[in-house]
């Protein structure tokens, strides 16, 4: 029996104001394009780690070239991840991707003591577009006022296909 891999399920969304607010709340934001790729993540989520390891370099490169805005917004599912998510807000923007990379690579990271910041605001806004778990990827084209949301892990080739469909 041969199993055919299913195409990712992309749910259409048209909530431009909410997506703009999410980009403002995102703990990581690289680039400034009409096309956005926003990842909702939890630092203790194994599929978030896999998605990050496989796509972060590609998405940061695309963002630096002006092709997309790449952003990451907290959506804490695992309670033990909260201190690490708070720590992200105590770091400079340049240091945040490194901390995420270190955590997802299994390195020991001291969370320290940091104020909560807008951790819960990001989660509340995420729920306005239907986010209910991690990882979730939101693809949005501001010029067209529409986009797609995908729940769960996506291989890099599918992420690139979804971006090209914007």
Residue 36: which residues within 8 A CB-CB, separation 6 or more?
Answer: 19, 23, 68, 69, 70, 71, 138, 139, 140, 141, 142, 147
The answer to whether the beta carbons of residues 153 and 142 sit under 8 Å apart is no
161 vs 156: CA distance, rounded Å? 9
pLDDT of residue 2 exceeding 60: no
Residue 3 lies in a domain: no
| Tens digit of each residue's pLDDT (9 = 90 or more) over 44-67 | 999 999 999 999 999 999 999 999
The answer to whether the beta carbons of residues 12 and 146 sit under 8 Å apart is yes
Beta bridge partners of 116: none
| Count of domains for the chain | 1
Alpha carbon dihedral 141, 142, 146, 148, in 10-degree steps, equals 40
Residue 4 lies in a domain: no
Residue 151 lies in a domain: yes
CATH of the domain at 138: 3.40.30.10
Domain that holds residue 44: 11-164
Residue 6: the pLDDT is 60
Residue 6 lies in a domain: no
47 vs 157: CA distance, rounded Å? 16
- Please, which pLDDT band fits residue 14 given cuts at 50, 70 and 90? confident
pTM of the model: 0.92
Residue 5 lies in a domain: no
Residue 73 lies in a domain: yes
| Tens digit of each residue's pLDDT (9 = 90 or more) over 65-115 | 999 999 999 999 998 999 999 999 889 988 999 999 999 999 999 888 887
């Amino acid at each position: 029996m041969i199993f055919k891999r299913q195409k990712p399920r992309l749910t259409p969304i048209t909530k431009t104001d909410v997506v703009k607010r999410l980009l403002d709340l995102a703990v990581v934001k690289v680039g400034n394009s009409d096309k956005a790729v926003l990842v909702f993540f939890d630092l203790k989520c194994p599929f978030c780690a896999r998605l990050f390891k496989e796509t972060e370099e590609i998405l940061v490169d695309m963002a630096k070239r002006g092709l997309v805005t790449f952003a990451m917004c907290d959506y804490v599912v695992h309670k033990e991840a909260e201190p690490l998510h708070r720590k992200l807000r105590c770091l400079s923007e340049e240091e945040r991707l490194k901390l995420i990379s270190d955590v997802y690579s299994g390195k020991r990271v001291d969370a320290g003591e940091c104020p909560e910041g807008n951790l819960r605001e990001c989660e509340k806004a995420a729920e306005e577009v239907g986010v209910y778990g991690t990882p979730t990827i939101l693809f949005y084209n501001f010029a067209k006022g529409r986009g797609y949301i995908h729940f769960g892990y996506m291989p890099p080739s599918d992420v690139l296909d979804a971006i090209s469909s914007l």
